[in-house]
Chain A
């Protein structure tokens, strides 16, 4: 009989104190490992986005963690928190320190991309691998329509104040090629309370050009050739799939997958494919790191 411990496949959901902030933590795999797969959600996501993938990574024997960013999900920001990519990147760094994670396999989605990449730029040596899901460097990117509304004073507040569950569902589903699971959309709406809606306006207004610094970031990271996996929904209405292959400017050896008939949330509309790709990738780069 083998004496090796079986991979931990259950997902633990608990609270985590990151400085003055109590965030929700979704975790799988060995609790004490200093090398972990870290998931950073986008807008309007939360730690709940990653339950399935965290469990899958945990099933391989690795540690997987996801947490709410401040004012998203069920996590309230500390007074004076700066709702910007820099502010959120600082929170990520603090959360990793609290969790004792020193070597990171980063998984980013949507606005989690700019946030995660700012953290990478401040500590590139800690990055073991990166998985970019409909996000990454965005040279020349022009804000999508919703973002332009959010960035416009008064109009953004008006939009957020009048968004109902039905209109939210319509807006999200209209842009998705195969629709999204109903419970996924409902959960996003449930988390988009007044606090989150205000945070969204602040974050978007603090980010004039999401493509700013792309060239400098690529120059910093390309020589390192960090293992990378890029997954992009071909029909992403917010971040065009043409950015998928451009991630090789920063990660030259990136394995790029543009998923047909998938939209902005591939882990929701093509969960089996995303899980397979991520598990294969994390297993490969995790093993190569040993």
Chain B
């Protein structure tokens, strides 16, 4: 039996895993980065690739913003079509996210990780079991493509292996599942850009949902997220159904005049998974920790951010300063403080219910008032939490709605 020793083993070499490995290694930790895909150019195929503005500071810290832009990435603002009009903050007040296709972004990030001193990539290796030291997790047993097993012993195991996390299953952590009642079908199209390009537009059809995200290579990623009763249309002819669905919205983007450049990819089941974030010697990040409805385009951003929060929380302990358990507790608190409120609202809306009265009030008022649109933008780009958003928007929304009603007579 081969046995290797590290400070941390990160399982999963995608956005969260690479980010976590880079930031831990920069603090002096020796990190094994285990990824089951042997190809360094492998990338996640089912993803809207929209990175919210909340994650841009993390990307800058990684030193990736310039390489992303050099690779053709764009800096979109977010705008929302609603039945009351467009909700969009003025260009000079709206936060900008990042858009770069995963087939470009993932290899770029993986290359950055593998070039980071202290990170040891193990591509083509699969986690088979977790090592334990009493009550603590103490590493991961992995096998290579030929079935040779190696034990990677570490003080911290990081599960960054996505929505269906194998690490979480092996660890037996608690998990709560919230139902998700929409489908997702999307694809990259070449053709005329939407008028609002490079800004992304989401269409709240209530309850139907679609989005258009201009991205690198002069492409636009169009995605439909219909309620599940629309499945037969999408199974029958995914491309036609996607084009019809998007172009049946009022004021549609030019998908009908565009050409599909690859294939339409669909995902039928995407339950929201909320997992226990930590256990002794173990932490989960990215989708492995919290896999929420992709409708709001938050998965990529939260992958970067949660990895950063973990690295900042446990990094000192892994390099011999402070307690690892305290570090894990700090991570838990930070993750919950930033994401729990957002996740609660997202899970509630992912049941494909219609807008509730509060949402109708906020959306209708934000479509009519620039100040509200700015405040809403902070929330939608996940820089402001739900409580602060409600406190700063509800009173003005009531005022704007009353003014509108009086003006209508």
Contacts and interface: CB of A to CB of B under 8 A. Distances in A.
Interface of A: 177-178, 234, 242, 245, 256-262, 270, 272-273
A259 B206 CA distance: 11
A178 B83 contact: yes
A71 B250 CA distance: 34
Interface residues of B, number: 15
Contact of A261 (B230, B232, B247, B249): B249
B248 A257 contact: yes
Contacts of A245: 229, 232-233
B233 A256 contact: yes
Contacts of B229: 242, 245
A261 B233 contact: no
A68 B249 CA distance: 31
B182 to A, nearest CB: 13
Which of B229, B232, B244, B250 neighbours the largest number of chain A CB atoms within 10 Å of its CB?
B250
A273 B83 contact: no
B210 to A, nearest CB: 8
Interface in B162-213: 203, 205-206, 208
14 contacts: A177-B83, A178-B250, A234-B205, A245-B229, A258-B230, A259-B249, A260-B203, A260-B205, A260-B206, A260-B250, A270-B250, A272-B250, A273-B248, A273-B250
A261 B205 contact: yes
Contacts of A272: 250
A259 B248 contact: yes
B367 to A, nearest CB: 11
A17 to B, nearest CB: 40
Interface of B: 83, 203, 205-206, 208, 229-230, 232-233, 244, 247-250, 252
Contacts of A234: 205, 208
Contacts of B252: 273
Contacts of A259: 248-249
Given A177-B206, A242-B229, 8 more contacts: A234-B208, A257-B244, A257-B248, A258-B248, A260-B203, A261-B205, A261-B249, A273-B252
Contacts of B83: 177-178, 261
Nearest to A178: B83
Given A177-B83, A178-B83, A270-B250, A261 B206 contact: yes
A259 B203 CA distance: 13
A256 B203 CA distance: 20
Nearest to B85: A178
Contacts of B203: 260
Contacts of A258: 230, 248
Contacts of B233: 245, 256
Contacts of B247: 273
B250 to A, nearest CB: 6
Nearest to B82: A261
Nearest to A231: B248
Contacts of A257: 244, 248
B204 to A, nearest CB: 9
Contacts of A177: 83, 206
Nearest to B81: A261
Contacts of B249: 259-261
Nearest to A271: B250
A261 B250 contact: yes
A240 to B, nearest CB: 12
B7 to A, nearest CB: 51
A245 B236 CA distance: 13
Count chain B CB atoms within 10 A of each CB in A177, A234, A242, A260 and give the residue with the most: A260
Top-8 shortest CB links A-B: A260-B205, A261-B83, A260-B208, A178-B83, A259-B248, A177-B83, A257-B248, A260-B249
A202 B230 CA distance: 37
Most buried by A among B230, B244, B248: B248
A177 B205 CA distance: 10
